[in-house]
Amino acid sequence: MQMLKDKIIKEGQVLSESVLKVDSFLNHQIDPPLMQAVGKEFAERFKEAGITKILSIESSGIAPAMMAGLVLEVPVIFARKRKSLTLVDHLYTASVYSFTKNETNDISVSKDFLKQEDTVLIIDDFLANGQAVLGLLDIIKQADANLAGVGIVIEKGFQKGGQLIREQGIRVESLANIASLKNGQVEFVEEARTE
């Protein structure tokens, strides 16, 4: 998705060989026209999958998931990371380790919103080590729901998450797949040089 790649090149900040900061359009401030285009792209890629629900995780996955849900005309559920007075029981839960934050969070989704008859599309902002997606997959499995696939805004193709998920036979659609962040430069998979 060229619009997204252009935004990453223009506004993304490479903080290290494994960290890309995209706070100006995805992780802190949100670029609505870009997220609208992202949502349309996910909807187009998964339009034949019979999706009845989109599942994301708070908070940066919500904007792209919401835009895809708008186009597909299906509800969007987001897994909560923090306990809430209104979300205390009747839950699917999973543990997710965040390498970026160096912490484990229990995520939860109300059983009221995810049912066995649902066909679910997972959408998230980043795919690096795959832990968030694995947690969401666990919740879908607990609900005995069907999985349509996984939509990722930015995949760090040089980390193991994408391979880990794909090896399970799961369809993963990434709108931008980064091959390298070496030398402070973003290099996308299709542009990667073979040496």
Per-residue model confidence as pLDDT tens digits over 88-137: 678 999 999 887 778 898 999 999 999 999 999 999 999 999 999 999 99
Per-residue model confidence as pLDDT tens digits over 9-33: 999 999 999 999 999 999 999 999 9
pTM of the model: 0.93
- Rounded Cα–Cα distance for residues 192 and 88 (Å): 47
Structure confidence at residue 85 as a pLDDT band (50, 70, 90): low
Could you tell me the residue ranges of all domains in the chain? 2-189
The enclosing H or E element of 124 equals strand 119-127
Q: Which of the four CATH numbers 3.40.50.10420, 3.40.50.620, 3.40.50.2020, 3.20.20.100 does domain 2-189 have?
A: 3.40.50.2020
**Contact partners, residue 94, CB within 8 Å, separation at least 6:** 79, 106, 107, 134, 135, 136, 138, 139, 142
Alpha helices in the chain (DSSP H): 2-11, 32-45, 62-72, 131-143, 161-166
Predicted confidence at residue 144, as pLDDT, reads 98
| Contact in structure between 139 and 110 (CB atoms under 8 Å) | no
